[in-house]
Amino acid sequence: MLSTLKLKDTYKIPLLDAYIDICKTYHKEAIIELKPKFSLDQIKFFIEKIEAHDYLDHVIFISFHRENLVQLKSILKICNIQILTDTFDEDIFNFLIKHRFDLSIHHSQVTKDLINLLHKNDIKISTWTVNDKVLMESLAKLGIDYITTDGI
């Protein structure tokens, strides 16, 4: 069973319920990545699990798969959604504007101009995976909204 799988001797993979409970206990936002493409029923299942904890208002859903995000938004009219991407172009910008999603982009693509463009359009920007403290401080000074790290 997944919950008994141990990593690096002492770490375990938490199941969704345990993860939501941890976030709720410590008043933290839960970041849930929809990694593969999911069916509408599978996405509904995730939503129901989180609703059972009364924590949907504190979840940010992220995915590289646009279909996941659009399906999610069709069910939850108001929710925090970020598209994951390695690059930024006009197509992605138009997608963000059309669906009112936020952006999560690789740190190598973040510029002050990009942050300004997104903020001007009421779009938040997250970046990943920042494991260097100097880079993290630089991105924070630029005005990035969220930073994902494996540990600094």
CA distance 83 to 14: 23
pLDDT, position 151? 87
Interacting residues of 116 by C-beta distance below 8 A, sequence separation 6+: 143
Pairing of strands 59-63, 30-33: parallel
pLDDT, position 120? 99
- Please, what are the averages of pLDDT over each run of 10 residues along the chain (152 residues)? 57 87 97 96 96 97 98 95 98 98 98 99 98 98 97 84
Q: Where are the domains of the chain?
A: 13-147
CA distance 10 to 15: 16
pLDDT, position 7? 56
pTM for this model (two decimals):
0.90
Q: What is the CATH number of domain 13-147?
A: 3.20.20.190
